[in-house]
Amino acid sequence: MSILVLGGAGYIGSHAVDQLINKGYTVAVIDNLQTGHKQAIHDKAIFYEGDIRDKMFMQEVFTKESVEGVIHFAASSLVGESVEKPLLYFNNNVYGTQIVLEVMEEFGVKNIVFSSTAATYGEPKEMPIVETMATHPENPYGESKLMMERMMKWCDKAYGIRYVALRYFNVAGAKSDASIGEDHVPETHLIPIILQTALGQREYLGIYGDDYDTPDGTCIRDYVYIEDLIAAHIAALDYLQKGNKSNIFNLGSNNGYSVKEMLEAAREVTGKEIPAKVLPRRSGDPSKLVASSEKAKMTLAWEPQITDIKQIIKTAWDWHISHPKGYE
Ligand code: UDP
């Protein structure tokens, strides 16, 4: 029996595959390598290159593998791009999930752990964000993830396919031995951009707005360490395999850091000056997003191990120093 990881060559998926294999699971990976890297896939995983929207391909994989559970990371995930190209997001994310669920139903696979996002909430007025708060996605990316969650809810009712949706806040860092890490082209995320600047690969960090309603005027985010985030996925899989009901959990650290605080922390970790310049706001950025992860802690017995922001940045720095050109 194997765990099928969709999007297992991506930043988060590759860390999941690695941790599952190290915990003794048999793992099969599907990835279309559009944004993922073949080198990121653990060599003990069976790799099928293809697209989740290709139903015949998916049926072939489900015929070859005896799938006991699915972990679904295969989606487009850039807020800005989703505003420009909403149909691409509905096609890849929503239609892709439609095929995944159709094939799971056909092959009688009953468990799915699903990568969702804080972007489903939009910008709630109260912090920290708890799972019972209303969802008002403010961009097509968040909307597509909420649609995917809702598809799963109805598939649970009709076919008994149970799901856990994990709503991530800002995922950060790399495996502690720096063998796998974050490599996006183009890179849009704060920590890798700061560290590329520290390496001299960028002239400066552009701070997107310092006139937000926050103490230093820059946006506040909740950064969760990648290996801890993955531990929650394995706990969620176990939760489903024990027969528990479908559920939704936030995954964050309960701590918020501003862009300026992140920059300062990175300057300390790297010992580099890291030039920065304030730029206009980036469209679609909420001023503050901080999670309450109490539900995951209570229900999944999830206990993040690395919560110190400098320690998280250090793991990313080790990856960047050892892979200055990413996986290339
Ligand atoms: N950010 C920034 N400069 C950059 C990249 C990001 O100021 O070059 C800010 C961004 O506006 C947001 C925070 O850093 O407030 C985190 O952005 P990221 O893209 O990493 O994640 P998001 O919160 O959008 O998922």
Among 202, 204, 259, 288, which is best to mutate for testing ligand 1, by the most ligand atoms less than 8 A from CB? 259
The DSSP symbol for 91 reads I
CA distance 115 to 185: 20
What is the C-alpha separation between 27 and 46, in angstroms, rounded?
6
Ligand 1 neighbour 193 (Cβ under 6 A): yes
pLDDT at 251 over 80: yes
* CA dist., res. 229 & res. 312, Å (int): 12
Substitution candidate for ligand 1 out of 81, 141, 169, 208 with most atoms within 8 A of CB? 208
CA 254 / ligand 1 centre spacing (Å)? 18
| Ligand 1 atom closest to the CA of 117, numbered from 1 | 25
Alpha carbons 288 and 182: distance in angstroms, whole number: 23
Can you tell me the ipTM of this complex?
0.99
Tens digit of pLDDT for each residue in 293-304? Answer: 999 999 999 999
Atom of ligand 1 nearest to the CA of 281: 11
What pLDDT, on the 0 to 100 scale, is given for residue 125? 84
pLDDT of residue 285: 85
Determine which one of 11, 141, 225, 257 is catalytic. 141
CATH, range 2-123+132-172+223-251: 3.40.50.720
Per-residue pLDDT tens digits for 23-60:
999 999 999 999 999 999 999 999 999 999 999 999 99
String of DSSP letters for 134-156: PP---SHHHHHHHHHHHHHHHHH
Task: Give phi and psi for 88, each to the nearest 5.
Answer: -60, -40
Instruction: State the Cα–Cα distance between residues 224 and 295, nearest whole angstrom.
Output: 15
| Topology match between the domains 2-123+132-172+223-251 and 190-221+254-322 | no
pLDDT tens for residues 189-245?
999 999 999 999 999 999 999 999 999 999 999 999 999 999 999 999 999 999 999
Mean per-residue pLDDT, 108-133 = 95
Quote the pLDDT of residue 73: 98
Half-sphere exposure of 143 (CA within 13 A, CB side): 13
Q: What's the rounded Cα separation, in Å, for the pair 269 and 160?
A: 48
**Residue whose tokens read 């708060």:** 133
* Pocket lining: 184 vs ligand 1, CB cutoff 6 Å: no
The answer to whether the beta carbons of residues 271 and 195 sit under 8 Å apart is: no
Average pLDDT, the chain: 97
55 CB near ligand 1 (under 6 Å): no
141 is catalytic: yes
User: Is it the case that residue 283 has pLDDT exceeding 90?
Assistant: no
Q: Is 107 in the pocket of ligand 1 (CB under 6 A)?
A: no
Identify the residue whose C-alpha is closest to ligand 1 atom 5. 190
State residue 327's pLDDT score: 97
Domain boundaries in the chain?
2-123+132-172+223-251, 190-221+254-322
Class of domain 190-221+254-322: alpha beta
